[in-house]
Amino acid sequence: MVIGGSSGIGKAVAGQAAAAGAQVVVGSRSKDKLEQTAKEIDGITTGVVDVTDEESVAAFFAGIDSLDHLVVCPGDMAVGSVYDVSLDAVRAALDTKIVGQLLSVRHAGKKISGQGSIVLIAGAAGFKSYADMSATAAANAGIGGMGRSLAVELAPVRVNVVVGGLIDTPLWSFLPEDARAGLFEQTAQSTPVGRVGQPDDVAATVLHLLENTFVTGAVLHVDGGGIAERGGARRRDGPGGPAAPPRPAGRITVLLLAAACGLCVANLYYLQPILPELAASLHRTPGSLTSSVSATQFGYALGLLALVPLGDAVDRRRLLTALVTTAAAVLALIPWADGGLLVGLFFLLGLVSVAAMVIVPQAAGMAPPERRGQVVGTVMTGVILGALLCRTFAGVVADLVDWRAVFWGASALMLGVGVMLRRILPPQPAVTPLTLRGYAALIGSLFSLLRARPVIVERCLYGALGFAAFTVLWTAVPLRLIQGPYHYGSAAIGAMGLLGAGGALGANLAGRFADRGRQRTVSAAAFALITVSFAVVSVLSSSLLMLGTAILLIDFAVQAAHISNQTTVFAQVGDEMRSRVTTVYMTCYFLGGAAGSALTGPLWAHGGWPDTALLGCAAGAGALLLLLGHAAVRRAATSRKAMAAIDD
């Protein structure tokens, strides 16, 4: 008897059992699917049964005198975060998987001979951690516990549970085709056997359990080895064996990682406040050296795409050591360069300064899940403070010593960062050398990541719009402050930048709330704050109090949303993919910021401060509307799924 045997795993079990000469009865709630199954598998008997309805189950088994074996594999899933998934979807999953299997055993158990057996089918979500699957996980874990108890309760009838990994069945048809293909590709890459499962893989295991009279109470995983690896990741380990989970990061370690991030990011901004001094020393105009500033940014953008993903394929500690050591060498050479060489060195400096974005996923991986948001917030606070304080450092050192001392001092700091990272980061076992083909596959997997994780796409959009609002603000504020009633000079304008310290506070608070599962609330509040602040200051920019308050609140909100986004996307993947998810997110973040600053110039020329402030308002409002829209779509999807019964 195969319950749920009209498609997927159940249909494969019925087919293999019939081919082995068994007399097979297939039960399913779909009459049409049963008719199709009867055409495809010769000699089977079929009957309609709804396992969530005890009267239907009782009537189905009433006409059966005896059974040798029972296989129960009705399928259903409740997909969505604990905050979004509807109770109807949760109840449907529990009714199908727990109540349905229990009722099937209740009405079939006494009809099974003492040499017979029962096999219950469960899913991997009950035995591994997946985001947005908590309700489904509860149902599948319950099947495992129920099977072990029934093995004792119904003895000598044998009862076993088979747990399938990602199996290519119609159960996944609710996903769009491209998302499903991306999910399957990603799983194949991270599974030791290198592919997703097929229904026949599970069916072969089920038939073995039906025949083996010395196995009962077992929970057997048929998942290509996915359960054997932490988070389902396929490690490229050498003879030393699989990598051990990184030890949890203590407070001192987190602070040191935050400092390292800040010093790496500072490399991007040392030049800006000392540009006039460097130009005078080289007998050039400051404007002629702006290409060096741009080269640093372009190098950083390329590093995000080309270098940060390597954190998922090589030893991060070695990668970081190479990056910061190269940065130290480049910083030491800059004072001796001019012309094209100077531009090239600044490009290379930007390229290797992406070390900060390799440190962030490393810190997230070293944090326990309940503290991950706080740790990411602390590390990002280091990034913010590094970007702020480096300008002060450069200005003071250039005034007291010389502009060259800025870069030599920064070089020494990078060497110190390299030594520190070697000491505090956990070692990793030897990994298989990365080939050019492997590197191409690594970069190509970025697109699969987006297809398979819609939540990451959503958070990338939120991040791009949030950083667009930030760059609109800081591109337009200096232009506003040189106008009346302010008429500020560069020193006073620079001092206004210290209000960005509010962003550090935002990062810390957002991290703490994220650890409580409040990412969506934090994001919604942040985008609302951006929208309102820009709207108010668009008409009240002549008040220094209002302008300063708006700067503080917008910086706070942008960083709060940023940390909420990062915490969410890190939760979607295991440690083995966090460098790539950082690349995807930060590239979108960077592009959003570039778009914001690019649009600010024409809008300022057209309408001045009011028009640019409204652009910032539109960015915040757009992010808020997207977030609310995505939440509504997700709730509607889970409700539709609960109403649409999935047979298998």
Q: Do 176 and 284 reside in the same domain of the chain?
A: no
pLDDT in tens, 566-590: 878 877 766 667 778 888 888 888 7
Single-letter amino acid, residue 481: L
Question: 245: cis peptide before it, omega within 30°?
Answer: no
Q: Would you state the structure tokens that stand for residue 138, as one six-digit string?
A: 């509860």
**Which residues are 197's β-sheet partners?**
167
pLDDT digits (tens, 9 = 90+) for 276-326: 678 788 887 765 666 676 678 788 888 888 898 888 778 888 899 999 999
- Residue at 327: amino acid letter: A
CA trace torsion 393, 396, 400, 405 (10° rounding): 30
- 475 and 606 both lie in a single domain: yes
The reported pLDDT for the residue numbered 322 is 94
519-567, pLDDT tens digit by residue? 788 899 999 999 999 999 999 989 999 998 998 899 889 888 888 888 7
Are 224 and 169 members of one domain?
yes
Q: Which amino acid is at 628?
A: L
C-alpha torsion 565→568→569→574, nearest 10: 150
Length of the chain: 648
Tokens describing residue 16: 């293999």
Q: Which amino acid is at 482?
A: I
C-beta atoms surrounding 213 within 10 Å: 11
Rg (CA), the chain: 30
Domain that holds residue 306: 242-434
Same domain for 67 and 133?
A: yes
Q: Tell me the pLDDT tens digit for each residue of 316-327.
A: 888 999 999 999
pLDDT attached to residue 120: 94
Give me 12's structure tokens: 């494969």
* Tokens 């060498």 found at: 329
CA distances from 327 to 267, 337, 354, 613 (A): 8, 15, 10, 37
Residue found under tokens 């700091």: 413
More confident residue, 494 or 104: 104
Q: Domain boundary residue among 379, 408, 434?
A: 434
Alpha-carbon distance of 368 to 376, in angstroms, equals 11
Go through 474-508 and write b for each residue having 16 or more CB atoms within 10 A of its CB, e for each that does not: bbbbeebbeeeebebeeeebbebbebbbbbbbbbb
Tell me the CATH number at 201. 3.40.50.720
Q: Are residues 171 and 253 in the same domain?
A: no
Claim to verify: residue 551 and residue 417 sit in the same structural domain: no
Specify the pLDDT at position 231. 40
For residues 137 and 19, membership in a common domain is answered with: yes
Residue 224: closest CA among 183, 195, 184: 195
- 432-440 average pLDDT score: 65
Other C-beta atoms lying within 10 Å of the C-beta of residue 543: 12
- The count of domains in the chain is 3
Residue 128's pLDDT band (cuts 50, 70, 90): confident
Residues 176 and 314 reside in one and the same domain = no
Q: Answer yes or no: are the C-beta atoms of 456 and 569 closer than 8 Å.
A: yes
Residue 254 CA to residue 331 CA, distance in Å, equals: 26
- pLDDT for 41-100, tens place per residue? 888 999 999 988 999 999 999 888 889 999 998 877 777 677 767 787 788 888 888 998
Distance of CA 630 to the CA centre of its chain: 17
Same domain, 419 and 446: no
Q: Where are the alpha helices (DSSP H) in 401-500?
A: 403-424, 436-452, 454-481, 490-496
Residue 644 has a pLDDT of 46
Domain boundary among 208, 234, 260: 234
Give the mean pLDDT of 330-359.
91
Residues 154-176: tens digit of each pLDDT: 999 999 999 988 888 877 665 65
The SS3 assignment for 179 reads: helix
d(CA 327, CA 498): 26
More confident residue, 475 or 12: 12
Distance CA 345, CA 312 (A): 27
Q: Do residue 264 and residue 296 come from a single domain?
A: yes
pLDDT at 243: 41
User: How far, in Å, CA of 596 to CA of 502, rounded?
Assistant: 21
- Cα-based torsion angle of the residue sequence 300, 302, 307, 309 in order, rounded to the nearest 10 degrees: 110
Q: Residue 601: CB partners within 8 Å, gap ≥ 6?
A: 475
Residues 271 and 367 in one domain: yes
Q: Are 450 and 457 in contact (CB under 8 A)?
A: yes
- Asked whether residue 643 carries a pLDDT value surpassing 80, the answer given is no
Average pLDDT, stretch 353-358?
91
The CATH number that applies at residue 408 is: 1.20.1250.20
Residue 177's pLDDT band (boundaries 50, 70, 90)? low
Q: What local confidence, expressed as pLDDT, does residue 182 receive? A: 65
Mark whether 379 and 285 lie in a shared domain.
Answer: yes
The residues near 88 (Cβ < 8 Å, ≥ 6 apart) are 639, 642, 643
β-sheet bridge partners, residue 152 = none
Which of these three, 234, 252, 275, is where a domain ends? 234
